[in-house]
Amino acid sequence: MPRRPIVGGNWKCNPEDPAKLDELVANINACDTSECDVYVCPSTLHVGMVFQSFTNGAKVAPQNCNFKGCGAFTGEMAAEQMMSMGMEWCLIGHSERRGEFGLPTPAESSELLATKMQYLLDTGLKCILAIGEPLPVREQGVEAVLAHCVEQLKPCLPYLDADKVVIAYEPVWSIGTGVTASPAQAQETHKLIREWLAKEKSPELAAAIRIQYGGSANAKNAAELSACEDVDGFLVGGASLKPEFAEIVATIAKVKSSANAAAPADQPAVAEPASEEDAQAARLSKLANEMAQEKLEERARLEAAATVAPVAVPVSSAPPPCELEKTMTSPRLAAVETPTKSSSCSIL
C-alpha cells in the first residue's frame, strides 16, 4: 500500500508583522492537496489568527502542546484547546524545542515528548514527531545516527500508530543552514529507521508510517529527495515562508504518483499509458533510487574494508549534497567544508 505523501510548513517564530500572514496563508492555499497531505505550523501567537484561513484542506499543527489539559499552565497550549478549535495535528520534538540550538531553558527530553505524544493521541489529535542528530553524531557515521534517532524514538514506541503519527527526520546540521542531506544520506537514514521500527514494533507499522525529511528542503532539491523510496514528505522551514512551498508539494505528489504507477514490475500494464512526462518522471525516480542504492553499496564496501575503525561519514566527505546552497547561514556550520556540487545527482 503506497504511503500518501505529506508536507508540512513550519513557520517557526515568523512572521514578525501579522500583516504578512495573508501572504503566508496564500502560499499554503496555493498547494494542490489532491495527492499530498499538507499541514502548517504557525507561531503560537498567530495560530489562532489563521486556523480557519485554509481553503484547500491544509491542516494547522501547532508547534507544541502541554500534557495536562486546560488550567493553570501559563504560556502553554492544551491539546483540548486544539481539539475545540477543530485542529487535528500537533508538531512536537523539533530540535529547536529539544534544545539543540542552545536554548537557555531545559531541553524537552524524549521521555517528556513521549508523554506529550500519548496525551495528544488520547485527546484525539494526531502528532508529528521530529527527531534528528546533531553534526558531531553524523560525523561518527550512520550507526551513531541511527542510535541517536532510536534514543529519541524509543519512549514513543508504545504510541506509534501509522494513522496518527508522522515521523519527521531532521538532521540538526541541515536545519536552516542551506546544507541539505544528500538523497543517499536521507534514504539510508529513513530506511534504517524503518527497519528498526519493523524489528521493534511491527513490519506493518514500519511499512505504513510516514517519515518526512526536514532540513533545508526546497523546490530545487525536492525532486531528488522525493525520489527516495523511504522519504514520504518534507517538513519545510525557510521555504515554507515562500511561494516555492507549493512547488515542493506539487513535486513530491508527482514523483510519488509516478513511482507508484511504475513500481510493481509484475503489475498488468495499465490500459491508458501514462503521458510521456509522467513516464519520464518515473524513469528519473527509478534512476535516483538506483543511484542512492549504489552509494549505499559503496559505503558498505568501504566499511567492510576498514579494519581498525568504521568509516565515519562527515558531512564534508559524505556523498555531496546535490543542491548545496552557497550561503551557509549557520555559524555552527562554519567549520564544515563546502562539498562540491555533484553533477551525478543533477538528474532533473
Q: How far apart are CA 54 and CA 40, in angstroms?
A: 10
- Scanning 44-52, 230-238, 282-290, 326-334 for contacts with ligand PGA by CB under 6 A, the matching segment is 230-238
| 72 secondary structure, DSSP code | S
From 217, 223, 284, 348, residue interacting with ligand PGA (rule: CB under 6 A): 217
Cell numbers linked to 172: 540538526
- The grid coordinates listed for 310 are 568504521
100 binds ligand PGA (CB under 6 A): no
Residue 171 makes contact with ligand PGA by CB under 6 A: no
The residue written with cell numbers 495528544 in the block is: 120
- Confirm or reject binding of residue 43 to ligand PGA (CB under 6 A): no
Answer yes or no: are the C-beta atoms of 126 and 118 closer than 8 Å.
no
Binding flag, residue 181, ligand PGA (CB under 6 A): no
Residue number with CB closer to ligand PGA (239 or 322): 239
Residue 130 in 3-state DSSP?
strand
Closer CB to ligand PGA, 141 or 215, in the complex: 215
Q: Which residues, 6+ apart, have CB-to-CB distance to 331 below 8 Å?
A: none
Interacting span for ligand PGA (CB under 6 A) from 144-152, 197-205, 214-222, 246-254 = 214-222
Q: Is 215 in the site for ligand PGA (CB under 6 A)?
A: yes
Q: Which helix (H) or strand (E) holds 117?
A: helix 110-123
**Residue 133 interacting with ligand PGA (CB under 6 A):** no
**Near ligand PGA by CB under 6 A: residue from 156, 160, 167, 175:** 175
Identified binder of ligand PGA from the candidate list 5, 141, 237, 320, rule CB under 6 A: 237
The CA radius of gyration of the chain, in Å to the nearest whole number, is: 20
C-alpha to C-alpha distance for 53 and 344, rounded to whole angstroms? 42
Q: Is 170 in the site for ligand PGA (CB under 6 A)?
A: yes
Q: For residue 104, how many C-alpha atoms fall within 13 Å in the half-sphere facing its CB?
A: 0
Using CB under 6 A, which of 236, 259, 291, 318 touches ligand PGA?
236
Q: 234, 143, 253: which is closest to 188 by C-alpha?
A: 143
146 is a site residue for ligand PGA (CB under 6 A): no
Of 171, 214, 319, 321, the one binding ligand PGA (CB under 6 A) is 214
Note whether 216 binds ligand PGA by CB under 6 A: yes
Is residue 10 at the binding interface for ligand PGA, with CB under 6 A as the rule?
A: yes
* Catalytic residue (one of 108, 170, 224, 323): 170
94 catalytic residue (yes or no): yes
User: 233: closest CA among 13, 31, 26, 24?
Assistant: 31
- Positive/negative CA dihedral, 325, 327, 329, 334: positive
**Nearest approach, Cβ of residue 170 and ligand PGA (Å):** 5
Rounded-to-integer distance, Cα 194 and Cα 208, Å: 10
- 36 touches ligand PGA by CB under 6 A: no
Q: How far is the CB of 261 from ligand PGA (least distance, A)?
A: 29
- The span from the CA of 257 to the CA of 3, in Å, is 10
Piece in contact with ligand PGA (CB under 6 A), picked from 146-154, 194-202, 237-245, 282-290: 237-245
Q: From 152, 150, 141, select the one nearest 94 (Cα to Cα).
A: 152
Kindly list the catalytic residues: 94, 170
Site residues, ligand PGA (CB under 6 A): 10, 170, 175-176, 214-217, 235-239
